[in-house]
Structure 1
Amino acid sequence: MDTYMEFFQNVSHVFTTITFESWLFFVLVIVIYIGITIGLDVLAKHHNISIKVVRFLKWFFLLISLYVLEYTVLPKMRLGVPEEALLFVKVIVIWFVVIQFLDGCYAEIYIKKIKHEQVNHIFIDLIKLLIFIVLVVVLLKNTFDIDPSSILTSSAILTAVIGFAMQDTIGSLISGLLIQIEKPFAIGDWIAVATHEGKVVEISWRYTKIKTISRDYVLIPNNSISRDTLVNFNRPIPYVRQQIEIGVDFSVPPVRVKMALMEVLEKSSSILKNPSPIIRLMEYGPYRMQYRIIFYVPQFEAVRRAIDEINTSIWYQFRKEHIPIPYPQSELAVRDYQQPADETSAIVEMLQEISLFKGMLDDNLDLLVRTSCVKNFMQDQFIVRKGSTDTTLFVLLAGKVAVEYEGRSLTEFEAGNFFGEMALLTGQPRSADIKAVQAARCLVIDREGFRMILSKSPKIYENIQTMFHERMLDRDKKGMLHAKKMEGTTLLERFRQIFIE
C-alpha cells in the first residue's frame, strides 16, 4: 500500500513540476493530430480518395506524433516511461503504417491507377510477411530479451511434424510463389488446366480462381497447375486462333468455294481482319472436299459467338451461291455441276479476244472456264480491296467497274477487260480498290486453275511477257524510271518463281 502511495506521490510531483510550455506542446501535438485525421476524412468524402490511402496517412501521422512526443515532451515530463513499452507501441504503429502503405498507396495508386495493372497480392503478402518477421525479431530481442535463434532450434522437431502434415498446402504456397515469379499467366488471361477452362480472376497463395464460359467459379490448387499441362490462350499473341471445318461437294470448283467463304469472313464483325483469315482445302473425303477456315477472335469470350455467326452465314451464302453441302450417301448418278453450255461458250469467245489469252486453244479455254467460277457483284460493292493478299484474276463479263485509290477514281473497265493479274502472276498485294459501278458479273480465276492451262499453252508465256513489256513502256512514258526497272526485272522473276521454277 505504501508503494502505491509513493508512486502516486511521484506522479503528482512530476505533474506539478511540468512546465506550462511542456503541457502546451503536448496538447498541441494531440490537437494537430486530431485535426489532421478530421481533415483527411473530409477530403476523402469530397474528393473520392481511397479509404486505404486515408488510413495510411492517419497511421503515418500518428507515428510522427509519437516520435515528436518521445524526443521533445516526454523527456521534460520525466514520467519514467520504460523504453520497452515505447518500442512496443512504435512497432505496432509501424506495422499498421506498412500494411496501409502496401494496400493503399502501392496497390491502389501505383499499381492500379498509374501502371494500370492487376495487383499481385502474393507479392504484397510476401513483403508483409518479411516485415512482420523483422518486427517480431526486434520486439523479441529488445523488449523481451529473447534470442530468436533459440526458439527456432527448440521447435525444429515440431516444425518438421507440421511440415509433413501440411505438405499439400505448403506445395500450393510454393507453387503460388513460382507462378508469380515465372508469370505463365496473368489476371484476365484465358487458360485451360486439365479439364477446366476459363478466365483468370484471382491468383492467391493456395489457389487460382477462374471464371468458366458458363459463368461458374473454379478454384484450382496451385500445385495442380504446376503438375498438369497449362494452356494460355492469350499468349504469345493476345487474340485467339480458331478454325472451322466445312465439307463441300466435289462438283464445285475450289475457287468458287473459297470466294464464297471469303465473302462470309469479310462481312463478319466478330473476327479480326488482321491477321487475315485463311481458307485451306485440306483433303478429299469419301463424299466431300474438306475445307478448313482459320480466323482470329479478339477475345476468348467471343469465340462461340464468332463460330455461330460464321457457320450461320456460311449456310446462307452456300444457299445463295447454289453450293451443296454433302452428307454421307451412296449415289449411282454422276453429276456435273458446271456452267451452262451456252454461257461457257460465250465466255470462251470473250476470252479469245482478251490479250492475255490470245492464241490459246478453245479446249484449254473451255477447261479454264469450267475450273473457275462466275460471280455476281451488286452496284457499289467492292470486288477488290487495297492491300488484300488474295491471288485471283477477274475477267469482267458484264457491267462496269472503277479502279479507286484513296477515294479517287482512276479509271473504269467495261466488259471484256480483266484486272487483278499482278496478284495472280507475281503475288503482289492489291494496289488499289476496285468497285462495281454497275451490277457486274466476273469470271474468277485462281492461281491453280491458271497454272493448269499454263502448262498446256506455251503461247500464254509470250502474252505475259508482252503484257509486262507494255506495262514497262507505260511507266517509261510517265517518267517512272525506277518503276520501269522493277517492272522489267522483279515482276518477271516473281512470275518465274511462282509458275516455272
Structure 2
Amino acid sequence: MDDAFRDGWAWWVIGLALGVPVLLVVLTEVVAALSRRNSPFAKPLRMLRNWVVPAGALFALLAFAIQSPAEQVWTRVVATVFGFLVILVVLSSFNVALFANAKVGSWRERIPTIFVEIARLVLVGVGLALLFSWVWDADVGGLFTALGVGSIVIGLALQNAVGGVISGLLLLFEQPFKIGDWLDAAGVRGRVVEVNWRAVHIETGAGIQIVPNSNLSGAAFTNLSQPEGPHSAETTVKFSTDDPPHEVMALLIEVADALPTKLAGEQATVDYAGAGSYAVSIPVAGPADAARTLSVYLSWLWYAARRHRLALDGDATDPLAEPQRLEEAMRTVAPTLHLKDDDIEAVITGARLERYGVGETVLPSGVVPDEVRVVLSGRAVLALEVDDGRVEFAAAEQGDLIGQTALTRERTQAVTVAGEILTVVVLPMDTVDSLIRTRPRLAAEIGESLELKRSLAAARMAELGIARTVIGER
C-alpha cells in the first residue's frame, strides 16, 4: 500500500473517485441555473459536463492512475478524443462570449454566421492537426502545404463564382441595407425581400428582380430607406405658361396637403422651374408610400386643375365647361330645387359644374360654406373626423345637397369626400337665397335634411361609443 501512495497512482484514483462526481454535481447545478435564465453559456457548460469531464477523467485514469504507456493505442485514442472535445468547448465558449450577447449594430452583431462557422472550422482543423502531431507524432507539414496549394488552384478555377459569394458575404457583414429597405440599384428600384450569398432579391412591383452581389459591390446604389424618417415623393408637373405661377403653386400645395398618405406635421413644397414646370415634393412615411402617393396626387390634380380652369400639361379643355352640359345638368336637378322651365335660365347664371376624383375632399369640416352643391352623378360620403381617423355616417347621391349649412351660416362638423367620381352643380349663395325665399317647401326640405344628418351622425357615434357633440351637421 505504501508503494501505491509512493508511486502516486493511488492519489489519482482517490482524486478521480471524489473529484469527478463533485465536479459533475456542481456543473449540473450551474447548467440548470443558466438554462432557467436562457443564458447562451449553458450550452458550452453542458458539453463540458457531459463529454469533456468524463473523457478527461478517463484519460487521467489511463495516463496517471493506471500509468499506461503513452505509446499505447488506447491511451492515444482517449487523448485524441479528449483533446478534440477541449477544442470544441473552447471555441464554443469564445463564440458565446463574443457573439451571443453582441449589441445591436455592433461589428460583432453584423458578422454573418457563415464567417463564424468558417473560422471555427479552420481553427478546429488546425487544432486537430496539432493534436495529431503531438499525440500520434504525425507529420502535418506536408498536409498544410497540400491544402495551401489546393486552395490556390481551386480559388483560381472558381474565382468568378467565389467572387460573387465573397461579395455577398462582405455585403452581409457591412449591412448597407436590410430586408424591407428600398434600393435604387443597377437600374432597379424596389424593396429588398431576400439577401443571400449570391444575390439580392428586389420586389419592384412588376416581379422579383435578382441583382448579383458582385454588381452591387462594384457599383454605387442608393438606400432610399436611410436615413430613417420622412421620405419625399417627388414629381415634376407642367402647366401652361399662361397660368399664373402663384395660383398654380397654391393649387399644387392644396392638393398635396389633402393626400391621406402625406406625413402629418410635414409640409409639401413646390418650386417653380420656369416655362410652366413645377417640382413637387410630398413628405411620406417611406418609399413604400411614394408610388401610391404620386398616383393619387396626379389623378386628383387632373380634376383640381379643371375646377380652377388651369391648363395641366398645357391642356385646358374641360367637357363640363360647355354651356349645353350645364343646361342639361340644371334640368336634371330641377326637381330637387323645385324649378320650372322658366326658372332654369335665371338659375344658370353664376352656376357651374365641378367634378371630383375618388377620395377628394369636396367640403372640409370646420368651415362655413359659401356655396351649395347638388349631386348630379356619383356618390359622396359624409364622415366625422375623430382621433383615429374618420367615421362615415351618411352618403349624398344624385339630387342630394352638399353644404346646406351655408344657409344657416354654421360651420360644417363633417367632411364630405367623393366616394366615386362625383359631378356636382355648384350654386352661389345669392341664387340659393333667392330660391329659398320663393320656395318655402325647398327651405323645409333643407331643414329636414340637416336634422336627419344630425341624427345619423349622433347615432353612428353612439354605436361606436364615441362621445361627441354634433351640432350643425351639413
Give the aligned residue type for 1:169.
Answer: A
Give the aligned residue type for 1:65.
Answer: V
User: Structure 2: 5+ residue runs without aligned partners?
Assistant: 1-7, 69-73, 318-362, 368-409, 413-474
Alignment of 1:173-188 (within 5 A): 173-179=165-171, 184-186=176-178, 188=180
CA shift, 1:230, in A, is 2.8
Q: Which residue of 1 aligns with 2:65?
A: 77
Alignment match of 1:261 (pick from 252, 256, 280): 252
User: Structure 1: 5+ residue runs without aligned partners?
Assistant: 1-13, 331-376, 382-436, 440-501
CA contact (8 A) 2:12 2:61 kept: no
TM-score (ref. length: structure 2): 0.51
Give the aligned residue type for 1:26.
Answer: V
Q: Which residue of 2 aligns with 1:423?
A: none
Distance verdict in 2 for CA 1:237–1:30, change over 3 Å: closer
Distance verdict in 2 for CA 1:68–1:222, change over 3 Å: same
CA contact (8 A) 2:55 2:78 kept: no
Give the aligned residue type for 2:167.
Answer: S
Q: Which residue of 2 aligns with 1:280?
A: 271
In structure 2, distance between residues paired with 1:203 and 1:96: 32
CA contact (8 A) 1:272 1:296 kept: yes
Q: How much is the aligned-residue C-alpha RMSD, in angstroms?
A: 4.9
1:223 matched to 2:211: no
Aligned to 1:139, the other structure's residue is in SS state helix
In structure 1, distance between residues paired with 2:162 and 2:61: 49
Q: Which residue of 1 aligns with 2:261?
A: 270
Which digits, 9 at most, give the CA deviation of each residue in 1:452-487, with x for residues without a partner? xxxxxxxxxxxxxxxxxxxxxxxxxxxxxxxxxxxx
Q: Which residue of 1 aligns with 2:116?
A: 124
Q: Which residue of 1 aligns with 2:392?
A: none
Which digits, 9 at most, give the CA deviation of each residue in 1:285-341, with x for residues without a partner? xxxx332212343322222232234334434543554444356699xxxxxxxxxxx
CA shift, 1:267, in A, is 3.6
Aligned to 1:244, the other structure's residue is in SS state strand
In structure 2, distance between residues paired with 1:86 and 1:250: 91
Q: Which residue of 2 aligns with 1:488?
A: none
CA shift, 1:261, in A, is 1.6
CA shift, 1:255, in A, is 0.9
CA shift, 1:257, in A, is 1.4
1:91 matched to 2:79: no
CA contact (8 A) 2:112 2:169 kept: no
Alignment match of 2:17 (pick from 1, 17, 23): 23
Alignment match of 1:58 (pick from 46, 52, 56): 46
Give the aligned residue type for 2:247.
Answer: R
In structure 2, distance between residues paired with 1:94 and 1:294: 60
TM-score (ref. length: structure 1): 0.49
In structure 1, distance between residues paired with 2:365 and 2:189: 46
CA contact (8 A) 2:177 2:223 kept: yes
CA contact (8 A) 1:63 1:93 kept: no
Alignment match of 2:284 (pick from 297, 314, 321): 297
Aligned to 1:29, the other structure's residue is in SS state helix
CA shift, 1:138, in A, is 2.6
CA contact (8 A) 1:25 1:73 kept: no
Distance verdict in 2 for CA 1:53–1:298, change over 3 Å: farther
1:314 matched to 2:301: yes
In structure 2, distance between residues paired with 1:215 and 1:63: 55
In structure 1, distance between residues paired with 2:146 and 2:108: 47
Distance verdict in 2 for CA 1:97–1:309, change over 3 Å: farther
Distance verdict in 2 for CA 1:161–1:306, change over 3 Å: same
CA shift, 1:58, in A, is 2.0
CA shift, 1:55, in A, is 2.7
In structure 1, distance between residues paired with 2:90 and 2:194: 26
